Amino acid sequence: RNGDGRAVLRSSLREFLCSEAMHYLGIPTSRAASLVVSDDDVWRDQFYNGNIKKERGAIVLRLAKSWFRIGSLEILAHSGELDLQRRLLDFIIQEHFPSIALNDSDRYLEFFSTVVSETANLIALWMSVGFAHGVCNTDNFSLLSITIDYGPFGFMDSYDPNFVPNTSDDEGRYKIGNQANIGLFNLNKLLQALKPLLDPRQKQLASQILEGYGQSYYIRFTELFRTKLGLLGDDEDDNYLIAFLLKVSLLC
């Protein structure tokens, strides 16, 4: 795309509609406030096959409580700007994590624990509606655990763990069956960014919190699919039934 930073009308319409659909499906997300068509022409290779065409440009106004991402902290840690990173973290906690006291020496640990838990919840919600995020890098993962990027994305028509919504993702890194693992990868990057601000005890506890991510995701995923299937209570065979039905869907 030659890094022009522009959007076309086609993708902007999809972004507007999808973010609103996700909101009404009860999935934490940014919202679309307006869509404005631009007079500028934008050149795009829509199917990455060398067939470049002129398209109409557009601008989507998106709204969210915050646009801070894992990458916002990662870049400061990487450049060694720890004082600025600490100030930014305290601001984020004060503005968006009211249950965490700023005078608590473990505030960064509690912040990390909350982000781990809420990220597991967000990805389980994505999976419950067959939504696949096409570019799950650390710069597209919100610290408030909301869906903030609607570049390449897609909904599965039928269950396929290898479904990839991004035509440029040749290796299938962000296939829907790998989204939970990518969440873990990104949270590990967040932990690495936070480590310079943690003491040895806090680092150990943070590692234990991260180890619990998989279980948190698994529990939430199971809860959501039990609800979808109308299962009452908690039976040890529920997970087998869920896996069996997904497999049947794949075969169909």
The per-residue pLDDT for range 148-196, each reduced to its tens digit, is: 989 889 999 888 999 999 888 889 999 999 999 999 999 999 999 999 9
User: Looking at per-residue confidence, does 203 or 249 come out higher?
Assistant: 203
Domain residues for 59? 7-63
Residue 250 inside a domain? The answer is: no
Please indicate, yes or no, whether residues 113 and 216 belong to a single structural domain of this protein. yes
Please indicate, yes or no, whether residues 195 and 112 belong to a single structural domain of this protein. yes
Q: Determine the Cα–Cα distance for residues 159 and 249; give it in Å rounded to an integer.
A: 6
Kindly give the residue spans of alpha helices, DSSP state H, lying in 97-139. 107-128
Which string of b and e fits 63-89 if b means at least 16 CB within 10 Å?
ebebebbbbbbbebbeeeeeeebeeeb
With beta carbons less than 8 A apart as the criterion, state whether 68 and 144 touch: yes
The per-residue pLDDT for range 67-88, each reduced to its tens digit, is: 999 999 999 999 999 999 999 9
Q: What is the pTM of this model?
A: 0.92
> Domain tally for the chain?
2
Predicted confidence at residue 1, as pLDDT, reads: 47
Residue 251 has pLDDT above 80, yes or no: no
The per-residue pLDDT for range 100-149, each reduced to its tens digit, is: 999 999 999 999 999 999 999 999 999 999 999 999 999 999 999 999 98
Please indicate, yes or no, whether residues 188 and 130 belong to a single structural domain of this protein. yes
Predicted confidence at residue 168, as pLDDT, reads: 83
Please indicate, yes or no, whether residues 144 and 215 belong to a single structural domain of this protein. yes
Please indicate, yes or no, whether residues 52 and 161 belong to a single structural domain of this protein. no
Dihedral of CA 214/220/223/228: which sign? negative
Q: Does 235 participate in catalysis according to the annotation? A: no
Please indicate, yes or no, whether residues 114 and 144 belong to a single structural domain of this protein. yes
Please indicate, yes or no, whether residues 26 and 136 belong to a single structural domain of this protein. no
Please indicate, yes or no, whether residues 58 and 91 belong to a single structural domain of this protein. no
18, 33, 63 - which closes a domain: 63
Residue 242 inside a domain? The answer is: no
Please indicate, yes or no, whether residues 21 and 113 belong to a single structural domain of this protein. no
Please indicate, yes or no, whether residues 19 and 109 belong to a single structural domain of this protein. no
- How many Cα atoms occupy the beta-carbon half-sphere of 189 within 13 Å? 22
Q: Which of 90, 139, 160, 238 is labelled catalytic?
A: 139
Q: Determine the Cα–Cα distance for residues 86 and 29; give it in Å rounded to an integer.
A: 26
**Model confidence band, residue 22 (pLDDT cutoffs 50, 70, 90):** very high
Q: Determine the Cα–Cα distance for residues 25 and 81; give it in Å rounded to an integer.
A: 39
